[in-house]
Chain A
Amino acid sequence: MIEILVSFFLLVGAAFALIGSWGLVHLPDFYLRLHGPTKATTLGVGGMIIGSVIYFSSHGETLSLHELLVTLFLFITAPVSAHMLAKAALHLQLRSEERTRNRNDV
């Protein structure tokens, strides 16, 4: 039972990471590419960490929660770095997709 739960969370995490990276390769311009990995990789790492918390909690004597520090740190820093990357892209006036709404001739 525990094995099925851990396998499920590990596979969900890996699938989210793979989808995020595929979005990074596939989407047409930078502002769209920013959307894929910043959400999917935090979900991916979150799934992996939940899987490993369940695994080590069921195999050790005590509850194992120190893995959650990694998730906490990533959940704080990922929006900050995504925001700064978007600011840098606007500053450099990168090309944006033709069909973007409300764009001011970037």
Chain B
Amino acid sequence: MLSLAIEAAFAMMTLALLLNLWRVVRGPDLPDRILALDTMYINSIALIVLYGVQQKSEFYFEAALLIAVMGFVGTVAVVKYLLRGDIVE
């Protein structure tokens, strides 16, 4: 029951990541690509949490937390560059 649900959730998350990748490649403007990357790292956090449940291991949450922090800093840095033409003024 649970393993079947985990497999189904893995399939759905993979499809979601592929849709995000399509928007990264296609996206007409730069903010579209940044938004798609932002969504991609959030979806990868969900994927890592799912993998931790499947492996019955609690060690993957630190990785999820690190990806959350780094992804937020990256998004803010790129958007700041778009807004001001400079990251640290």
Measured CB to CB, the residues of A under 8 A from B are 3-4, 6-8, 10-11, 13-15, 17-18, 20-22, 24-25, 30, 33-34, 37, 41-42, 44-45, 48-49, 51-52, 55-56, 59, 64, 66-67, 69-70, 73-74, 77-78, 80-81, 84-85, 87-89, 91-92, 94
Interface, chain B (partner A; CB < 8 A): 1-2, 4-6, 8-9, 12-13, 15-17, 19-20, 22-23, 29-32, 34-36, 38-39, 42-43, 45-46, 49-50, 52-53, 56, 58, 61, 64-65, 68-69, 72, 75-76, 79-80, 82-83
A66: min CB distance to chain B, Å: 6
Q: Indicate whether A88 sits within 8 Å of B31 (C-beta atoms), given known contacts A10-B9, A11-B9, A24-B39.
A: yes
Q: How many residue pairs, one in A and one in B, have C-beta atoms under 8 Å apart?
A: 158
